[in-house]
Amino acid sequence: MTLLTILRVKLFDWLPAIIAVAALVIAWEVLVGVLEVQRWLLPPPSVIINELFDSLASLSRHAGTTASETVIGFAVSIVLALLIASGIVWSRTVERSIYPIIIASQTIPIITLAPLLIIWVGTDIMSKVIVIVLFTFFPIVISLVTGLRSVEQEMVDMFRTLGASPWQIFYKLMLPTSLPNFFAGLKVGAVVSVIGAVIGEWFGASSGLGWLMKIAGGQFQTAKVFAAIVVLSILAMLLFAVVVAVEKWSLRKYPPTVTRVIRLGES
């Protein structure tokens, strides 16, 4: 297939989403005008687009700060999730001691911890990274544990018969088998990580899109708030796309039938 053909196929696949978004934007623009809603209360999409271009330099600078926090926090969350999930699957003692703590941590509203983190670790990037990790590591851990435990016992017995060590069974059998579940958790974490960065910036920051939204909202600059939301959405979609690309590369050796079953299971 040529590049042009691939692009046409991709565009056709995304055509329903493009039409839905276009219809929503047009309806928004028309209703705001017909109902004579004040622009400071709910700006139409045309005003938001103008704000995007007018504040492009400022939005780009703050987006860079938020993107750095998000990438670092997401990376730390992945490493932490790998260690925790491996420990839970590897040792029953670790599972009984850590699993309840992980579940209990999710019952605490993370947003209530953000002010305390500012007091404990300050307003630098560390507090934002911690908030992002608290938001993202749980779905990654749960997905990875589920994937690691999805290995059939017959496969484990076959590896043992062939003389494989526990580490070889874990590295060559369990980890590859868990990849579909692992990437499912990463997709959730990729989107949620941006939310964590924004919440961390709300409570203590001097830059970032979350900080910009907080300042602009207090000054009733609603168009700038929506412009920051658009940039945040783009950041989340880019991070999600990176995870999808890595997933496709990692699962390239899977048989096509298995890949289709995986995708059907996720849909």
Render pLDDT for 68-107 as a digit per residue (tens, 0 to 9). 999 999 999 999 999 998 888 888 888 888 888 888 877 8
Q: Does a structural domain hold residue 248? A: yes
Same domain, yes or no: 138 and 224:
yes
Q: Could you tell me if 60 and 98 lie in one domain?
A: yes
What is the predicted pLDDT for the residue at 97?
A: 84
- My answer on whether 145 and 219 are in the same domain is yes
pTM: 0.82
Q: Is residue 264 over pLDDT 50? A: no
Same domain? 89 vs 168: yes
Q: Are 144 and 182 in contact (CB under 8 A)?
A: yes
- Higher local confidence (pLDDT), 257 or 184: 184
Q: Give the C-alpha separation, 198 to 154, whole Å.
A: 46
CATH number at residue 104: 1.10.3720.10
**Token reading at 146:** 């589920």
pLDDT at 266: 45
The first and second tokens of residue 160, run together, are 């043992």
Same domain, 167 and 203: yes
In whole angstroms, what is the distance from residue 229 CA to residue 250 CA?
31
Range of the domain at 246: 48-266
Say yes or no: 31 and 61 in one domain: no
Confirm if 155 and 105 have CB atoms less than 8 A apart. Answer: no
Least confident of 35-39, 95-99, 109-113: 109-113
**Contact call for residues 221 and 211 (beta carbons, < 8 A):** no
pLDDT at residue 36, as a whole number: 81
Structure tokens at 90: 């590897």
Q: Are 73 and 196 in contact (CB under 8 A)?
A: yes
Q: Which residues of 116-139 are buried (b: 16+ CB within 10 A; e: fewer)?
A: ebbeeeebebbbbbbbbbbbbbbb
Question: Exposure of 227 by Cβ count < 10 A (0-12 exposed, 13-18 middle, 19+ buried)?
Answer: buried
pLDDT, mean of residues 206-226: 87
Rounded to whole angstroms, the Cα distance separating 169 from 161 reads 11
Q: Which residue has the tokens 């203590």?
A: 204
Question: In this structure, what token pair is assigned to residue 76?
Answer: 């730390």
**Are 137 and 227 members of one domain?**
yes
225 within some domain: yes
At 117 the pLDDT is 79
Interval 30-51 mean pLDDT: 87
Cα–Cα distance measured from residue 258 to residue 77, given in angstroms and rounded to the nearest whole number: 28
Residue 219 lies inside a defined structural domain of this protein: yes
| Cβ pair 91, 109 in contact under 8 A | no
Shared domain check, 66 and 167: yes
* Domain count across the chain: 2
Query: How crowded is the C-beta side of 182, counted as CA atoms within 13 Å?
Result: 21
Asked, for residue 164, whether it belongs to a domain, the answer is yes
Mean pLDDT of the chain: 83
Residue 42 included in any domain: no
